[in-house]
Amino acid sequence: MFSRTENFKQYTSYYPVVSTLIAVNLILYVLTLVPVLGELLWNYGIQVNFLIQSGEWWRVFSAMFLHANFMHVLFNMFSLFLFGPELEKIAGKARFITIYLLSGIVGNMATFMLNEGIYTSLGASGAIYGIFGAFGALVYYTRRTMPMLRKLILPIIVISVIMTFLQSNVNVYAHLGGLVTGFILGLIYLHPARILSWRKQKMAGK
- Residues with a known catalytic role: 125, 175
Do the Cβ atoms of 100 and 21 come closer than 8 Å?
A: yes
Q: How do beta strands 120-121 and 47-48 pair?
A: antiparallel
Give me the amino acid identity at 171. N
Do the Cβ atoms of 139 and 133 come closer than 8 Å?
A: no
Task: Looking at 5-92, list the stretches that DSSP marks H as alpha helix, in order from N- to C-terminal side.
Answer: 8-14, 16-32, 37-45, 49-53, 59-62, 70-91
| 3-state SS, residue 118 | coil
The Cα–Cα gap between 84 and 2 comes to 9
Burial call 7-25: b when 16+ CB within 10 Å, e when fewer: eeeebeeebebbbebbeeb
Task: Looking at 123-146, list the stretches that DSSP marks H as alpha helix, in order from N- to C-terminal side.
Answer: 125-141
